[in-house]
């Protein structure tokens, strides 16, 4: 759905909030609702970039208020290099979806693994069989506003 609308509703199909109705923010605009009527909010990479670059009409304080005061769970999608620019308190309260693009991953078998190195001899590793497999069909419940 990303790229079609600046924001939309749909069923989350990735990560720990799978199956929860979600308000997705692809890009912040002046019309972006400040308190979307949804039990979960997902901020996509382009919107995260707007927050980092301070080009969004909303800011990190708005997001902290949403998570801490209003107790709305928020997922922030980031790509490599972005996470270090997100304030520490935001990282504490938000669910972070670390996204990497790797075409070759489609060639892996269920008993293969993915390893992410973050320092010498420091890494995260998981087998494909322990990961969710999401396909375009999983997004069929999204609806544009």
Band of residue 3 on the pLDDT scale cut at 50, 70, 90 = low
* Cβ atoms of residues 73 and 39 within 8 Å: yes
In the prediction, which pLDDT does 28 show? 95
Nearest to residue 16, comparing CAs of 100, 71, 75, 67?
75
Q: How far is CA 83 from the centre of its chain?
A: 12
Judged against a pLDDT cut of 80, whether residue 106 lies above it is answered with yes
- Name the residue with tokens 């009409």: 57
Judged against a pLDDT cut of 90, whether residue 4 lies above it is answered with no
CA pair distance 8, 73, nearest whole angstrom: 17
Average pLDDT, the chain: 90
| DSSP symbols for 12-79 | --SGGGTTSEEEEESS--TTS-SS-SSS-EEE-HHHHHHHHHT-SSS-HHHHHHHHHTS---EEEEE-
Band of residue 2 on the pLDDT scale cut at 50, 70, 90 = low
| DSSP symbols for 105-121 | GGG--TT-EEEEEEETT
In the prediction, which pLDDT does 145 show? 63
Band of residue 136 on the pLDDT scale cut at 50, 70, 90 = confident
Residue 142 token pair: 């999204």
In the prediction, which pLDDT does 89 show? 97
Domain boundaries, the chain: 7-102
Q: Which of the 8 DSSP states describes residue 136?
A: G
């Amino acid at each position: 759905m990303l790229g079609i609308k600046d924001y939309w509703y749909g069923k989350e199909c990735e990560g720990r909030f799978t199956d929860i109705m979600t308000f997705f923010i692809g890009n912040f605009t002046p019309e972006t609702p400040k308190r979307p009527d949804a039990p979960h909010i997902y901020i996509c990479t382009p919107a995260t970039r707007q927050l980092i670059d301070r080009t969004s009409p909303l800011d990190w304080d708005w997001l902290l208020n949403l998570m801490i005061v209003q107790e709305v769970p928020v997922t922030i999608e980031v790509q490599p290099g972005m996470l270090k620019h997100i304030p520490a308190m935001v990282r504490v309260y938000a669910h972070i979806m670390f996204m990497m693009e790797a075409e070759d991953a489609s060639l892996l078998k269920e008993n293969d693994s993915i390893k992410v190195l973050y320092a010498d001899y420091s890494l995260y590793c998981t087998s494909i069989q322990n990961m969710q497999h999401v396909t375009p069909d999983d997004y069929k419940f999204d609806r544009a506003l």
